[in-house]
Structure 1
Amino acid sequence: MAVYTEVPDDEMAAFVARYGIGELLSAKGIAEGVENSNYLLHTTQGFYILTLYEKRVNPAELPFFLGLMQHLSGRGLNCPVPIVDSQGEALGRLAGRPAALVSFLDGLSVRRPTVAHCAEVGRGLALLHQAGEGFAMSRVNALSVPGWRPLAEQAGSDADKVQPGLAARVIAEIERHERDWPQGLPSGVIHADLFPNNVFFIKSKLSGLIDFYFACTDAFAYDLAICLNSWCFEADSSFNLTKGQAMLAGYESVRRLEEAEVAALPALCRGSALRFLLTRLVDWLNVPPGALVKPHDPLEYDRKLAFHQRVADARDYGLRR
């Protein structure tokens, strides 16, 4: 989450008035993340989240994201629910951007996940995968293997300004995945961005999943690989095997991985590390002037990628059978 677009007070109040959620009392920008402009709204009826869609979000895909949240909530997953306006529409426009209001979830994200948090996330991810069954819409993962080379080309030789030799290492890694990316794995709706700031907890119990704006149709195990990358590494870039074991066990307490998924996990972890290295690299090199956002360090994922390049099999992530 972030704030790229400032909204005048009168425009904000007029927008909120269309949704029947009471009178606007305050609107506070949320300065986390890198993708969209987000505000925490307080009205006379409670709290809501307002999102203005920017950058990589294709407006034509917004019905997928909003419809998915409605579907997942209807299947019992605790996630934001889109609020419809007086015309029954969940999607509007504000300050020249597509915009939507969603319900507010109780809980807090964690900055230093524990083993218990990782177990909860594994279980919650599997429940999300199950809840997505039957969703009628699909969306190609635009940030999977075919999307990586264009990102590398966008960064170009400037990647070496971040770290010497990074541009060539990235291209070599892309070429490997273009040859060998796992195919035919169990697939369906995935979150594709379930980082700690997108998961809420009350104490150590998961209370909600948010920010579905990278959700797409892809391999379930790839979603799990993204979570292993984002939850199970320590600040010194070492992989915490105990956290990995807890996450994988939590996932398998709901949905058991197939043998093909187990075999593919090292490649999927390696590829997901590359994906976030690339998007962070492009963001690092292209922060809009005046944006109230701090880009994430791309080299964090370069270090994670180096770990995955040494992995032999899924046991190195803590999988126990």
Structure 2
Amino acid sequence: MAVYTEVSDEALRAFLSDYALGELLAFRGIAEGVENSNYALKTEAGDFILTLYEKRVDPAELPYFLGLMDHMAARGLACPTPVHARDGQALRSLAGRPAAIVTFLPGVWPRRVRPEHCAPLGRALAEMHRAGEGFAPERSNALGPAGWAPLLDGCRARGDEVQPGLVAELDAALVGILAAWPAPGALPRGHIHADLFPDNVFFLPGADGKPRVSGLIDFYFACTELLAYDVAICLNAWCFEPDFSFNATKARALVAGYDAVRPMGAAEHAALPVLCRGAALRFLLTRLFDWTHTPAGALVTRKDPLEYLRKLRFFAQGEGLGL
């Protein structure tokens, strides 16, 4: 979350007049994140998040994202619920940007992931996959296997400036991953989050004092993809220590939590090593593309692609993860 587009008090009040949310009580920008402009909004009806979608988001895809959140929330998932205006529309325009209001979720995201976060995360991810069942629209994964070669091609000119020999190493990795990737129809597909990093998962203490998931946020990379690929993304994002060592205890807890709600089949478990390699390559390539294409002073915060090179190398070391 971040603020790139400023909203005047007058424009906001005019915007809110189309909603049955009562009077505006408080309004402030949220500094975290890199994709869209976000504001914390308090009205007589409660607390909300106002999002203005910036140029990196295709407006044509917003009905899918908002519709998926509506569908999942209706099925009991703790996720932001789009607020519909009096005309029934959730997507409107504000300050020259597509905009929407969603409900506020309580909780905090873990700055340091502990093993006790991982089983609740796995359960919440499986609950999300279950909640997505029956949502008819689909969105292809633009950052899936078919998109990796074009991303890598876009990094060829400057990729080795990040690390000598990087492009050749990624070429070889891509060939190996695509050769081992599950064939179409081999694994279950559905609606996945595709970006469930720690800052997109909120926790609160449970009655036993242990962390429980209070909500999942930021569905703007969601797509229709292999369900187990979402697990692989989480294994990458949640199960490495600051020194980049893989924490098998966290990984086993995550997978066990997931299997307790939506048991993965033997084929899905067997595919996790290559899915983890693919997930590592996906985030490495998008980070590398941003690193080599983002001018100094741009609003987008660049992230180190070499973090995911270390993860890719780990997953490439062996065929099994012991999960």
CA distance 1:245–1:20, change in 2 (3 Å)? same
| 1:60 Cα deviation after fit | 1.3
Match for residue 279 of structure 1 among 267, 273, 286: 286
Q: Is the 8 A contact 2:192 2:223 kept in 1?
A: yes
Please give the alpha-carbon distance, in whole angstroms, between the structure 1 residues aligned to 2:2 and 2:302.
Answer: 10
Structure 2 residue runs of 5 or longer lacking an equivalent are 206-210
| 1:235 Cα deviation after fit | 0.6
In the TM superposition, 1:193-272 aligns within 5 A as: 193-203=195-205, 204-272=211-279
Q: Is the 8 A contact 2:187 2:268 kept in 1?
A: yes
Q: Which residue of 2 aligns with 1:160?
A: 160
Which region of structure 1 is more displaced relative to structure 2, 230-239 or 165-174?
165-174
| 1:154 Cα deviation after fit | 2.4
Q: Is the 8 A contact 2:35 2:300 kept in 1?
A: no
Q: Is the 8 A contact 1:2 1:293 kept in 2?
A: no
CA distance 1:299–1:10, change in 2 (3 Å)? farther
Please give the alpha-carbon distance, in whole angstroms, between the structure 1 residues aligned to 2:155 and 2:24.
Answer: 42
Which region of structure 1 is more displaced relative to structure 2, 124-133 or 157-166?
157-166
1:15 aligns with 2:25: no
Letter in 2 for 1:50: L
Q: Is the 8 A contact 1:30 1:39 kept in 2?
A: yes
Kindly provide the CA deviation profile for residues 151-207 of structure 1, in whole angstroms up to 9, marking residues without a partner as x.
222223222222222222222222223333112211111111111011010021111
| 1:287 Cα deviation after fit | 3.8
Q: Which residue of 2 aligns with 1:188?
A: 190
Please give the alpha-carbon distance, in whole angstroms, between the structure 2 residues aligned to 1:63 and 1:115.
Answer: 36
| 1:288 Cα deviation after fit | 6.2
TM-score (normalizing by structure 1): 0.93
Q: Which residue of 2 aligns with 1:79?
A: 79
Which region of structure 1 is more displaced relative to structure 2, 293-302 or 187-196?
293-302
| 1:249 Cα deviation after fit | 0.7
| 1:278 Cα deviation after fit | 1.1
Please give the alpha-carbon distance, in whole angstroms, between the structure 2 residues aligned to 1:314 and 1:140.
Answer: 28
| 1:297 Cα deviation after fit | 1.7
Which region of structure 1 is more displaced relative to structure 2, 148-157 or 64-73?
148-157
Please give the alpha-carbon distance, in whole angstroms, between the structure 2 residues aligned to 1:284 and 1:33.
Answer: 16
Please give the alpha-carbon distance, in whole angstroms, between the structure 2 residues aligned to 1:262 and 1:69.
Answer: 28
CA distance 1:9–1:297, change in 2 (3 Å)? farther
Q: Is the 8 A contact 1:119 1:246 kept in 2?
A: yes
Q: Is the 8 A contact 1:4 1:291 kept in 2?
A: no
Please give the alpha-carbon distance, in whole angstroms, between the structure 1 residues aligned to 2:73 and 2:298.
Answer: 32
- Identical pairs, percent: 59
Q: SS where residue 65 of structure 1 aligns?
A: helix
Please give the alpha-carbon distance, in whole angstroms, between the structure 2 residues aligned to 1:99 and 1:18.
Answer: 13
Please give the alpha-carbon distance, in whole angstroms, between the structure 2 residues aligned to 1:157 and 1:291.
Answer: 20
Kindly provide the CA deviation profile for residues 81-115 of structure 1, in whole angstroms up to 9, marking residues without a partner as x.
00111211100112222111100001111111111
Please give the alpha-carbon distance, in whole angstroms, between the structure 2 residues aligned to 1:17 and 1:5.
Answer: 20
Please give the alpha-carbon distance, in whole angstroms, between the structure 2 residues aligned to 1:146 and 1:80.
Answer: 30
CA distance 1:281–1:33, change in 2 (3 Å)? farther
Letter in 2 for 1:199: V
| 1:5 Cα deviation after fit | 2.4
Please give the alpha-carbon distance, in whole angstroms, between the structure 1 residues aligned to 2:6 and 2:197.
Answer: 26
Q: SS where residue 253 of structure 1 aligns?
A: helix
CA distance 1:7–1:156, change in 2 (3 Å)? farther
Please give the alpha-carbon distance, in whole angstroms, between the structure 1 residues aligned to 2:284 and 2:30.
Answer: 24
| 1:293 Cα deviation after fit | 4.9
Please give the alpha-carbon distance, in whole angstroms, between the structure 2 residues aligned to 1:21 and 1:271.
Answer: 44
